[in-house]
Amino acid sequence: MANSHGLIQHATLMSFEILQRLTYKLPMLTQFAHTFSQNLKLGQKVHISDVGEGSVRTFSTSTGYQADLNRTDTDYQVTVDKWKYYTQSWAADDLHKSERDLIAEEGDRGAYVLGRSIIDDVLTLLTGYAAGSRIGITPTAPDFDHDDALDVWKAFEANGVPGPYFGVLNAAAARSLLGDATILNTRTNPGNNSLQTGNLMPIAGIDWSVYGGLPTQYFASNEEIFGFACNRDAILFAGGAPRDVSEIAGIEFPKNYITRVVTDPNTGLSLRWLAFMDGQAQTFEIHYAMMYGYLEGKESLMRVLHDTA
């Protein structure tokens, strides 16, 4: 393929940019209990094991050590049933003529649209958690503050929910939290750059972030979801790079394409890029693809935050 070296280099650099920006902008994607794989098949079953909490017993010299028959380990099967991709189309000389950093700009855009599409799917789980996994905040969601964040932490600790925890707020609740007097008073702390970056800080061991795409379903009259906090095993996610289309029967694609799998070494998250160049038109097209599936984990590890009527 003509100019294939430049195409491979561009697509690989862009893939790394997308993966790194995706995990920075949307950290919850790697905070769910997860397994990341390469060469996934649509419909593939991925196992995620949850090791149950055992019991502590008093040692007896007459019986010695015995197996813990009360511990329950759960093996979940997550079906990889989603296949999403993001596409770029370029004129072959765009990168040479432009003085703009197109890789950074497109990487940022690609990370946002691809990541948001995936997370929007996963967060549909929030509306299905039982009443025992919900926390009503009084008076309304936009008034979520430092004390409310501590109440969420208290709900975990009081019920023996193991950490680490992470939480997500919609923009209105995050705006309220950033404006809370306790948060503002920590602005002199060099470790607090939330006011400058808009990225929320951990509070009492809960690693908070903001996301604008939370479901808005009402549980009851005027009780709207505005956030959630959980242990990572409350949501189970399996994802990564799909297998090459040449290995899938029934899919047609130009024969002169190039494809590679790129993996973020820090998170293990992978995607596959697939590209081809039209030598006559001097244009090329790159697709960045991920497969994934998700499943509700243990309800006891989730706290869905909502308004109170």
CATH of 4-48+75-123+235-296, one of 3.10.450, 3.30.2400, 1.10.357, 1.10.3470: 3.30.2400
Determine the pLDDT at residue 138: 60
Distances from the Cα of 35 to the Cαs of 28, 80, 102, 128, 292, in angstroms? 14, 11, 31, 23, 10
- Blockwise average pLDDT, block size 10, the chain, 309 residues: 61 83 82 84 87 79 85 84 88 62 68 88 85 66 80 89 89 85 64 62 87 78 82 90 79 77 88 79 81 90 82
- The dihedral built from the CA positions of residue 42, 11, 211 and 203, taken in this order, carries a sign that is positive
**Nearest-10 crossing angle of helices 4-25, 102-122:** 50
Residue 216 identity: T
Separation between Cα atoms, residue 126 and residue 60, nearest integer Å? 46
Specify the CATH number of the domain 134-234+298-307: 3.30.2320
Strand partners, 75: 49
The residues of the chain that CATH labels 3.30.2400 are: 4-48+75-123+235-296
- Every domain of the chain with CATH number 3.30.2320 lies at 134-234+298-307
Tell me what pLDDT residue 292 has: 94
